[in-house]
Amino acid sequence: MAHEVRGVVARGKGQPVSLETIVVPDPGPGEALVAVQACGVCHTDLHYREGGINDDFPFLLGHEAAGVVEAVGAGVTDVAPGDFVILNWRAVCGACRACLRGRPQYCFATHNATQKMTLADGTPLSPALGIGAFADKTLVAAGQCTKVDPSASPVAAGLLGCGIMAGLGAAINTGGVTRGDSVAVIGCGGVGDAAVAGAHLAGATTIIAVDVDDTKLDWARRFGATHTVNSRETDPVEAIRDLTGGFGADVVIEAVGRPETYKQAFYARDLAGTVVLVGVPTPEMQLELPLLDVFGRGGALKSSWYGDCLPSRDFPMLVSLYQQGRLDLDAFVTETIALEDVEAAFEKMHHGEVLRSVVVL
Ligand SMILES: NC(=O)c1ccc[n+]([C@@H]2O[C@H](COP(=O)([O-])OP(=O)(O)OC[C@H]3O[C@@H](n4cnc5c(N)ncnc54)[C@H](O)[C@@H]3O)[C@@H](O)[C@H]2O)c1
Ligand SMILES: [Zn+2]
Ligand SMILES: [Zn+2]
- Residue 258 located in a structural domain: yes
DSSP reduced 3-state for 3? strand
Q: Are 326 and 133 in contact (CB under 8 A)?
A: no
Average pLDDT, the chain: 97
Same domain, 113 and 176: no
- The answer to whether position 248 is within a domain reads yes
- Of 19, 358, 12, the residue nearest 163 (C-alpha): 358
Indicate whether 284 and 233 sit together in one domain. yes
Q: How far is the CA of 278 from the centre of ligand 1 (A)?
A: 8
Asked if residue 270 and residue 205 are part of one domain, the reply reads yes
Q: What crossing angle do the helices spanning 214-222 and 190-202 adopt, rounded to 10°?
A: 30
135 and 235 in one domain? no
Q: How far is the CA of 257 from the centre of ligand 1 (A)?
A: 7
Top mutation candidate among 44, 54, 233 for ligand 1, by most atoms within 8 Å of CB: 44
Residue 126 has φ and ψ, to the nearest 5°, of: -100, 110
Same domain, 175 and 297: yes
Kindly state whether residues 141 and 207 are assigned to the same domain. no
199 and 151 within one domain: no
Three-state secondary structure call for residue 208: strand
CB atoms within 10 A of CB 347: 14
Same domain? For 96 and 156 the reply is yes
The residues facing 7 across adjacent strands are: 20, 135
For 26, residues 6+ apart whose C-beta sits below 8 A from its C-beta are 1, 2, 3, 33, 71, 73
Q: Looking at the structure, tell me whether residues 255 and 337 fall in a common domain.
A: no
pLDDT at position 97 is: 97
SS3 307: helix
Q: Facing residues of 183 across strands?
A: 207, 251
Tell me, using a 6 A CB cutoff, whether residue 44 lines ligand 1: yes
Residue 53 CB contacts under 8 Å (≥ 6 apart), including other chains: 44, 47
Q: Same domain, yes or no, for 171 and 150?
A: no
Q: Are 200 and 62 part of one and the same domain?
A: no
Statement to judge: residues 70 and 100 lie in one domain: yes
Q: Is residue 310 part of a domain?
A: no
Question: Is residue 52 scored above 90 in pLDDT?
Answer: no
pTM, entire model = 0.95
Distance CA 169, CA 255 (A): 12
For residue 255, being part of any structural domain is answered with: yes
Rounded Cα distance, 81 and 102, in Å: 30
Residue nearest to atom 11 of ligand 1 (CA): 279
Ligand 1: does its nearest atom lie under 6 Å from the Cβ of 165?
Answer: no
Q: What is the pLDDT of residues 133-172, one digit of tens each?
A: 999 999 999 999 999 999 999 999 999 999 999 999 999 9
280 ligand 1 Cβ < 6 A: yes
Cα gap 290→208, rounded to integer Å: 26
Q: What's the rounded Cα separation, in Å, for the pair 25 and 4?
A: 9
Is 90 exceeded by the pLDDT of residue 282?
Answer: no
- Report residue 237 CA to chain centroid gap: 26
In a domain, 312, yes or no: no
The CATH number covering residue 266 comes to: 3.40.50.720
349 Cβ below 6 A of ligand 1: yes
Domain that holds residue 254: 167-305
* pLDDT score of 298: 96
295-321: per-residue pLDDT in tens?
A: 999 999 999 999 999 999 999 999 999
Centre of ligand 1 from the C-alpha of residue 344, in Å:
18
Binding site membership of 169 for ligand 1 (Cβ less than 6 Å): no
Is 161 close to ligand 1, i.e. is its CB under 6 Å away?
A: no
163 lines ligand 1 (CB under 6 A): yes
Q: Is the pLDDT of residue 361 over 90?
A: yes
Span 270-292, mean pLDDT? Answer: 96
Domain count, the chain: 2
